[in-house]
Amino acid sequence: MLDGLRAAARRNSDDKALRALIRACKRLLSERAEANSVAIAAELVQAYAQLPEAQRPKLFDALASDFSPDPQTVLAAATAYAQAPTARHLVKLSQVAEPPRQELLRRINRAPGGTACLIGMRRDLLTLLPSRPELLALEADFLHLLSSWFNPGFLRLEKVDWQSPAQLLEQLIQHEAVHAIDGWDDLRRRLQPDRRCYAFFHPQLPGEPLIFVEVALLPDMPAAIAPLIDKKSTPQERNSFKVAVFYSISNCQPGLRGVSLGNFLIKHVATALQRELPKLKRFCTLSPIPGLMDWLLKKPDFEALPGLKKPQLARLQAAHALLLHSCGQDLAGLQQQSADRPLEDPVQQALLSLCAAFMIHQTHSPGGDPVARFHLDNGARLERLNPAGNLARKGLRQSAGLMVNYLYDLAEVENRHERFTLGEVVHARAVAALL
Which residues belong to the active site?
Answer: 287, 375
CA distance 123 to 265: 22
CA distance 315 to 318: 5
Query: 29, 23 in Cβ contact below 8 A?
Result: no
**Contacts for 177-186: CB closer than 8 Å, 24+ residues apart:** 177/248, 177/250, 177/251, 178/247, 178/248, 178/249, 178/250, 178/288, 179/225, 179/229, 179/247, 179/248, 182/231, 185/231, 186/229, 186/231
d(CA 115, CA 294): 37
Q: Say whether 329 sits in a helix, a strand or coil.
A: coil
- CA distance to 105, 108, 109, 145, 248, per residue, from 29 (Å): 10, 10, 13, 17, 43
**218 pairs with which residues across the strands?**
243
What is d(CA 213, CA 127) in angstroms, rounded to the nearest whole number? 25
Burial of 230 (0-12, 13-18, 19+ CB in 10 A): exposed
Rounded-to-integer distance, Cα 40 and Cα 360, Å: 53
Q: Cβ(382)–Cβ(376) under 8 Å?
A: yes
What does the alpha-carbon distance between residue 289 and residue 399 come to, in Å, rounded to a whole number? Answer: 6
H-helix or E-strand containing 169? helix 166-175
Round to whole Å and give the CA distance between 262 and 285.
Answer: 13
| 435 within 8 A of 315, measured Cβ to Cβ | yes
Could you tell me which of 237, 252, 190, 184 has the C-alpha nearest to residue 216?
A: 190
Question: By CB neighbour count within 10 A (0-12 exposed, 13-18 middle, 19+ buried), where does 132 fall?
Answer: middle
